[in-house]
Amino acid sequence: MKILRHELRQGRSACLIWTAIIGFLMIVCIFLFPEMKGEMEEVGDIFASMGSFTAAFGMDRLNIGTLIGFYGIECGNVLGLGGAFFAALTGVSMLAKEERDGTVEFLMTHPVSRVRVVTQKLIATAVQILFLNLMILGFSFLAMALVGEPIPWKEILLLHLAYFLLQLELAGLCFGISAFLRRGGAGVGLGLAVMAYFLNLIANLTDKAGFLRYVTPFAYCEAAQILTEGKLDFRLVIVGMAFMGIGIAAAYIRYCRKDLMA
């Protein structure tokens, strides 16, 4: 577990910063809700009548005048995008950074197998994502309690579970990509996260692009669907977890065979 502890120490600052930023934005959003609640009832009608734009963000099925509707749209986007960026960046740099920073010779000239390195780095990625999500979930509940709104436990937990799975999927894919890279990779990770986000918007805009829902993890994080049906779309989740599995398998296969160069 030496490598796991080392990775957690190395990633501590970045994880805390991302947690603080996303948590802060979530809290600000929740604190704004009571003030905006009255106005939202009127604004909600406008939001609900913006055609395909409304559908793209799921506002046709959510009432933004309720805490859970507001949370699903506003906070969902903050956590969705912020969490996706964090997961993608963490995953894509996890293996490649050793070669990028020239530390691969230090690490891999110790009696540690490549499987052990990949496994412990993978666990470190998952632990950091879990930490970020638990902290943000805690911040959200705390903020809701402080503004005096009743907390819709089940819906909030389902939403956060969906975003956690999204981050795991993106991290798994980026972890696989990381095994193929020697330098950087931040652009690839961020690009993948942004692309996944926009693919979901496109899938929501037109039925012709509905197949994209099986490609992007944002599809099973749709607040409108989760809150109206009270469950995750497990078909999409299973497809997403399969993508994650492919990413992880690719990481093991590639990293155990590749030439490691400082």
Partner 1 sequence: MRETVDQKGKGSLVQGTYLEEAVSYAIRLKGLTKYYGRMRGIEGVDLTVGRGEFFGFIGPNGAGKSTTIRLLLGLVKPTGGEARIFGMNVGKDREKILSTVGYLSAEAAFYPGMRVKDVLELSAGLRGKSDRLKSDRLEIAKSCREAAGELCERLRLDTSRKVEELSFGNRKKVAIVCALQHDPKLLILDEPTSGLDPLMQKEFFEILRERNQAGTTIFLSSHILSEVQHNCSRAAIIQEGRIIACDRVDALYRMGIKRVGIRGRVDLSGLSGVQDLQKMGAETLNFLYAGEMKPLLAALANGEVHDLTMTEPDLEEVFLHDFQEGNT
Say which residue the tokens 């780095």 belong to: 121
Each residue 113-132 as x (binds partner 1 by CB under 8 A) or -, in order, gives: x--x----------------
Length of the chain: 262
Please state the closest distance from residue 100 (CB atom) to partner 1, in A.
10
Each residue 44-63 as x (binds partner 1 by CB under 8 A) or -, in order, gives: --------------------
Q: What angle do CA 123, 168, 77 make, to 5 degrees?
A: 140
Please state the closest distance from residue 6 (CB atom) to partner 1, in A.
6
148 vs 153: CA distance, rounded Å: 14
Instruction: Tell me which of 17, 21, 43, 107 binds partner 1, using CB under 8 A.
Output: 107
Tally Cβ neighbours within 10 Å of residue 96: 24
Judged by CB under 8 A, how many residues of this single chain contact partner 1?
Answer: 25
13 vs 165: CA distance, rounded Å: 23
133 vs 160: CA distance, rounded Å: 7
Instruction: Tell me which of 17, 32, 46, 112 binds partner 1, using CB under 8 A.
Output: 112
163 contacts 80 by C-beta, under 8 angstroms: yes
Nearer to partner 1, 120 or 225 (CB): 120
Contact positions vs partner 1 (CB under 8 A) = 1-3, 6, 10, 13, 101-113, 116, 257, 259-262
